[in-house]
Every structure is written in structure tokens, then in C-alpha cells.
Amino acid sequence: GAVVSQHPSWVICKSGTSVKIECRSLDFQATTMFWYRQFPKQSLMLMATSNEGSKATYEQGVEKDKFLINHASLTLSTLTVTSAHPEDSSFYICSARDAGGREPNEQFFGPGTRLTVL
């Protein structure tokens, strides 16, 4: 149980284009999902917290107009990187919290999406 999927697993795009990443909880309902970014050999950086049916809460320094987050259902959240530039190239990972799970506050991570902007 507690499986989270992400799509696509990797994407290469040209500078200036937008990229949408999907995060799905496959066997549980996730009222809260989290989006992280990780640069090579660095720690996870939380970008935003996403609640189903409401606006996402962004961490300081993360541009909400550039990283659009939609959490339209209890099993799906999307992150859109708008007008991507080479500096946005990174490993984007989502996680989902199983609020109804056996252990509170456990977060399960998707496999990640590797974005390369040319």
C-alpha cells in the first residue's frame, strides 16, 4: 500500500516552454501533497504544500506564478513549471500524506521527475 506515482519520470524541454508534472496517490486518499526539488548532491527543498480543493502554500523564495500547483482531487496534484529556463533543471519529487493511514503524518514519495531545460 501507500504508493505514489509521478509522470513523466523524465522530461527534456526547450527554454521558455511549460512542463506539467502529475503526482498521484494510487491506493489512498491524500488530502495533502508536497512538492520538493532536489539539486545534485543537495538536500530536499520543500517548494510548496498542496491541499485538495484549496490554494497551495509556497515556501519563501518559491515563485508561485512560475510553479503552478493544482490539487483538484484527493488522488491527484499537478505541478506546472511555466516558462522553464535552464536553472529550473532539477529533480522534482512529490510526496503524499496518508491522513487516514495507520501512522499519522507519514509521507510517501513518488519516484520523481527529472527535468532538463535546454
- Footprint of other proteins on this chain (CB under 8 A)? 32, 34, 43-44, 46, 49, 51, 91, 93, 97, 99, 103-112
Please report how close the Cβ of residue 83 comes to other proteins at its closest, in angstroms.
Answer: 26
Give the residues across from 49 on adjacent strands. Answer: 34, 57
From the number of C-beta atoms within 10 Å of its C-beta (0-12, 13-18, 19+), residue 60 rates as: exposed
Please report how close the Cβ of residue 13 comes to other proteins at its closest, in angstroms.
Answer: 20
Nearer of residues 38 and 80 to other proteins, judged by Cβ: 38
Nearer of residues 59 and 63 to other proteins, judged by Cβ: 59
Cα–Cα distance measured from residue 17 to residue 24, given in angstroms and rounded to the nearest whole number: 23
Please report how close the Cβ of residue 49 comes to other proteins at its closest, in angstroms.
Answer: 6
- Closest residue by Cα to residue 34 from 20, 53, 21, 47: 47
